[in-house]
């Protein structure tokens, strides 16, 4: 009897090594378990009948109540389109005008990145997660403190977002509080974002007179006005209304200019349920829909078919105190209901989710961010804004939370992807082989190993160790791990930085506050 172990089979050993190498290699984009643009829509917060009632009520509001405070230019445009100026100064919208606008609205919108690999197809129920907001503070989790946000913080957020697979776009998440001049702040916001990421960027303009300067900078970055118009990689976040049912005069003037400059717009209506919008979820959605329908008429009166994201952003309110409740179940339902209305209209839409009312990246922040992000994704929301990084009901932004949000959104996207039912995934042959002729378990089988990357999302920082292993490894801390990754990303130069000639040209024209 020979007790010596048999030498390993060269073919089996080589096959196993090849399989391990294949599993370690990055998957092709189309094979990744989660990716930008997965189709949601499996959850509907509203029935078809509910949507029709909301739509008809919104039309009633536009026809009977209308909107006040349109600028003179907007009044002319809207009257020429078929709206009616009342003796009370309010613009009212006949049903036929709104229905005709809906019929001709642009439904084939792609928000472009400077790198075409980051283009966002907003058709159907494709879901994309990203940042947004206008936080005025940075959250420092190590010291459990808040400080004013700076242009460097914004640039760093862009650089971090550029490296996170599940953050698909960067809308400006904070205000540069260290730049008191509003024109310089707007221009430095564009510079800080675009030099930090090649993903699609969203910005705002404080005054109509600033738009020309911003477009001039974007033409320089793009390589000329024609190149910019062919691939506009920045959109304008436009709070064109002051709820309830009033136009924001200067923002409307900004909107007219950016449309003529070839910049996509986000039509943003952000009423507070119980304060500047009805307290009921359905009523808040009605008002947001009515305001955005008015905005859609306005956009198409300026330029028919211009790309506009239907940005219904109603927010929740704690009626006991008047505090915003961005992390509540009501907020999740508001966003999911708005996403359902976007599907009802077949329009590219966006809304807010992922907001934490918690002041720090803690357990409260986790449940608040996951609740609304999952609901938004399952509802098929095209653009999930404010999905990562936001604290204190949008007053604070945290780099570490942005990084942890990448893990969180990865799990949310896996929920969006859902359950595939095919002959292969039903696995009868595997069950037969394991139970009748195999080891009685599925560990290490070809099918298990073959699907472990394609079907499963693994957190980059989330900890799945046993208590024993966690203790033996020095009890690693989640926030400390996020801080370490932040430091590692920021230790490298931005891959999105402009070439030397372009950067010099921009700095010669504009007062850029970031160092070279």
Alpha carbon distance 66, 245 (integer Å):
7
> CA torsion sign, 474 to 477 to 482 to 486?
negative
Q: Looking at domain 102-417, what is its CATH homologous superfamily?
A: Trimethylamine methyltransferase-like (3.20.20.480)
Q: What is the pLDDT of residue 445?
A: 86
**3-state SS class at 92:** strand
Strand 91-92 to 145-148 pairing: unpaired
CA–CA dist 481, 231 (Å, integer): 37
How far apart are the C-alpha atoms of 105 and 204, rounded to whole Å? 23
For residue 292, cis peptide bond before it (omega within 30 degrees of 0): no
- Tokens for 384, please give them: 């999930």
Q: Specify the pLDDT at position 186.
A: 98
CB-CB contact of 394 with 134 (8 Å): yes
With a CB cutoff of 8 Å and minimum separation 6, the contacts of 331 are 315, 316, 325, 352, 353, 355, 372
- pLDDT for res 18: 59
CA distance 340 to 327: 20
Sign of CA dihedral 301, 304, 307, 312: positive
Q: Which backbone phi and psi does 252 adopt, to 5 degrees?
A: -65, -40
CA distances from residue 424 to 307, 421, 431, 455 in whole angstroms, order as listed: 41, 8, 11, 12
Q: Which two tokens stand for residue 95?
A: 């049903």
Residue 148, judged by CB atoms within 10 A of its CB (0-12, 13-18, 19+), counts as middle
Cβ-based neighbour number of residue 121 at 10 Å? 15
CA distance 69 to 84: 14
Residues of the chain short of pLDDT 70, as ranges, are 1-26
Task: For residue 354, give Cα distances in angstroms to 57, 279, 308, 332.
Answer: 29, 21, 22, 9
DSSP state of 106: -
pLDDT of 25 reads 61
Quote the CA–CA distance of 112 and 267 in Å, as a whole number.
17
In 3D, which of 130, 253, 243, 254 has the Cα closest to residue 186? Answer: 254
Q: Identify the pLDDT of residue 17.
A: 61
Q: How much is the CA Rg of the chain, to the nearest whole Å?
A: 25
CA pseudo-torsion sign 432, 433, 435, 436: positive
């Amino acid at each position: 009897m020979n007790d010596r172990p048999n030498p390993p089979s060269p073919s089996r050993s080589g096959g196993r090594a090849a399989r391990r190498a294949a599993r370690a290699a990055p998957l092709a984009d189309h094979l990744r378990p989660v990716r930008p643009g997965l189709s949601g829509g499996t959850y509907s917060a509203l029935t078809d009948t509910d949507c029709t009632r909301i739509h008809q009520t919104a039309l009633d509001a536009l026809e009977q109540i209308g909107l006040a405070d349109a600028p003179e230019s907007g009044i002319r445009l809207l009257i020429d389109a078929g709206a009616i100026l009342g003796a009370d100064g309010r613009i009212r919208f006949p049903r036929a005008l709104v229905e005709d606008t809906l019929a001709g609205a642009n439904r084939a919108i792609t928000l472009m990145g400077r790198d075409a690999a980051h283009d966002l197809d907003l058709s159907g129920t494709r879901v994309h997660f990203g940042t947004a907001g206008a936080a005025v503070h940075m959250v420092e989790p190590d010291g459990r403190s808040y400080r004013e946000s700076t242009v460097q913080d914004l640039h760093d957020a862009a650089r971090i977002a550029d490296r996170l697979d599940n953050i698909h776009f960067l809308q400006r998440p904070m205000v540069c509080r260290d730049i008191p001049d509003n024109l310089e702040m707007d221009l430095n916001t564009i510079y800080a974002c675009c030099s930090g990421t090649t993903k699609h960027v969203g910005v705002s303009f404080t005054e109509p007179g600033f738009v020309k300067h911003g477009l001039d900078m974007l033409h320089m970055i793009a390589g000329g006005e024609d190149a910019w118009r062919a691939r506009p990689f920045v959109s304008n976040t436009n709070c064109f209304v002051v709820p309830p049912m009033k136009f924001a005069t200067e923002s409307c003037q900004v909107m007219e200019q950016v449309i003529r400059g070839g910049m996509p717009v986000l039509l943003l209506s952000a009423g507070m349920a119980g304060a500047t919008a009805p307290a009921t979820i359905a009523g808040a959605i009605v008002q947001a829909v009515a305001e955005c329908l008015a905005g859609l008429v306005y956009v198409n009166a300026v330029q028919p078919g211009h790309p506009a994201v239907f940005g219904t952003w109603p927010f929740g309110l704690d009626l006991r105190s008047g505090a915003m409740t961005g992390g509540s179940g009501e907020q999740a339902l508001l966003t999911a209901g708005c996403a359902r209305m976007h599907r009802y209209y077949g329009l590219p839409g966006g809304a807010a989710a992922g907001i934490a009312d918690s002041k720090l990246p803690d357990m409260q922040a986790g449940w608040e961010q996951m609740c609304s992000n999952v609901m938004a994704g399952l509802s098929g929301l095209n653009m999930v804004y404010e999905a990562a990084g936001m604290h204190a009901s949008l007053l604070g932004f945290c780099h570490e939370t942005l990084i942890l949000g990448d893990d969180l959104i990865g799990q949310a996207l896996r929920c969006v992807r859902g359950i595939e039912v095919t002959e292969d995934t039903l696995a009868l042959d595997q069950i037969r082989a394991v139970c009748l002729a195999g080891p009685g378990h599925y560990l290490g089988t070809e099918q298990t190993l073959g699907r472990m990357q394609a079907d499963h999302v693994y957190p980059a920082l989330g900890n799945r160790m046993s208590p024993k292993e966690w203790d033996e490894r020095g009890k690693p801390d989640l926030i400390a791990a996020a801080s370490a990754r932040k430091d590692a990303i920021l230790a490298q130069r931005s891959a999105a930085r402009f070439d030397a000639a372009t950067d010099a040209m921009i700095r010669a024209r504009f007062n850029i506050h970031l160092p070279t």
